[in-house]
Amino acid sequence: MTGQIFVFSAPSGTGKSTIAEALMERFDRLAYSISHTSRPPRGAEQDGIGYHFVTESDFREMIQKNAFLEWAQVHDHLYGTAFDAVKAQMSAGSDILMDVDVQGGRSVKKQFPESVLIFLLPPSLEILRKRLTDRGTDDPAAIKKRMEKASEEIKHCSWYDYIIINDDLEKAVFEAESIIVSARCKKSRRIDWVAAHFADFP
């Protein structure tokens, strides 16, 4: 059975990482896509765990070779998801969980029309601002930039397949789980299994 791509997009501070971690614990055959990046490793980060670390020159060469399913520049560094890595995981039967922005989501949907796009929203921009402030990792200027980006990203949520509003974490996780279960039960995901297990199937 070939795997499927689940794309998660959300403004920073919406709880996307927490929900993704819960999904990884809940489901087997669900794997993170491992992105390439031109930024240097931080702390104890190791190549191949979380990210593939490459030079900017190597990254741009991969762009020229159309090696990326999606890529983007974030601040001063480049991030991208390689076609070969995703195809290998899917061929092995794993579903892929991708954390990308709206531009990346659009690119994935274009290349893999059967992918499932999920947009995670905060209850309001005011609550999002409070979450960003309370976590204490950004100064006011950075929070302002994140809020501006959030407002722009939210404008694109209408072309996603599903929208989850994270006003209650347990409920949001349940809704995300339900989307994955539903996608895995679709006829297109199981018809080959039916044909292999039922000899008289036309």
The domain segmentation of the chain, as residue ranges, is 5-197
Spatial contact of 90 and 5, defined as CB atoms under 8 Å apart: yes
Taking the chain (202 residues) in runs of 10, the rounded mean pLDDT of each run is 88 91 94 91 85 95 95 87 90 90 91 94 93 87 90 93 96 97 83 76 62
pLDDT value for 9: 94
CA-CA distance, 35 to 104, in Å (whole number)? 12
Single pTM value for the model: 0.84
Q: CA-based diameter of the chain, in Å?
A: 66
pLDDT value for 59: 96
Q: What is the CATH number of domain 5-197?
A: 3.40.50.300
pLDDT value for 45: 86
CA-CA distance, 176 to 9, in Å (whole number)? 12
CA-CA distance, 20 to 98, in Å (whole number)? 9
pLDDT value for 199: 66
pLDDT value for 49: 82
The CA-atom distances, in angstroms, between 42 and each of 37, 46, 53, 98 are: 12, 9, 11, 21
pLDDT value for 202: 62
Spatial contact of 156 and 112, defined as CB atoms under 8 Å apart: no
